[in-house]
Amino acid sequence: MPQDRLHAVLTGDLIRSTSLPPKQADAAIFALEKAADEWVGDLHFTRFRGDGWQILLDRPQSALRLALYMTAALAAAETGLSTRIAIGFGTVARLRAGDLSGATGPAFIRSGRALDHMPRNRRWAVAGGPTLPAWIPATLALAEWHSARWTAGQAAVVAEWLDTVDRTQEEWASRMGLTRQAWKARFDGSGIAAWTPALQMWDQWQGDGITDD
């Protein structure tokens, strides 16, 4: 994996998990790891500090889609826990296959610091240097607000839909064991279709405005 090009690192931790039985945190981390394993694309997932997790994403333009996807997958799992997410953009260094614990570089540093300094009333944060395009934090703030309002059923549909494979409504519904009408009701209720233009803008972004300075 080239380490001198732009990556995205997502660092997260479970909210208020330390006051709950460890098995509940384990279930939530398992749901996140399972979602990462099913993601269509190249990424690397590592659990750390018990209730924390980290993902290295080779395609930084997929960061919004992945943040929505991980949030939806956890909500759909109904573990009773939610997660904070901090996205850092930049290059990476000292990567080892299958383990992010020893990795470093601006993307990792920015992601970790953004999580550490996240305001108490926020769940998502982003860092990409002084010239980070303004539309990135703007769309992420809206996505954070919107995703926190999904029901478990809506979140399950969203997680499936965010997969980039093109399917009909009947095919989506069949995959989830739902009727087309039930699938469409959850899909429409989630409001995720309204994010199509923003997701397309992210998908076409080539990292302009991100530096390691």
CATH annotation of 7-204: 3.30.70
Q: Where are the domains of the chain?
A: 7-204
Please report, in tens digits, the pLDDT of each residue of the chain (213 residues total): 455 689 999 999 999 887 778 899 999 999 999 999 999 778 899 998 778 999 999 999 999 999 999 999 999 999 999 999 999 999 998 776 667 877 889 999 999 999 999 999 999 999 999 999 999 999 999 999 999 999 999 999 999 999 777 899 999 999 999 999 999 999 999 999 999 999 999 999 999 999 987
Cα gap 73→154, rounded to integer Å: 10
What strands, in cross-sheet order, belong to the sheet with 43-48? Answer: 43-48, 52-57, 7-14, 83-90, 124-127
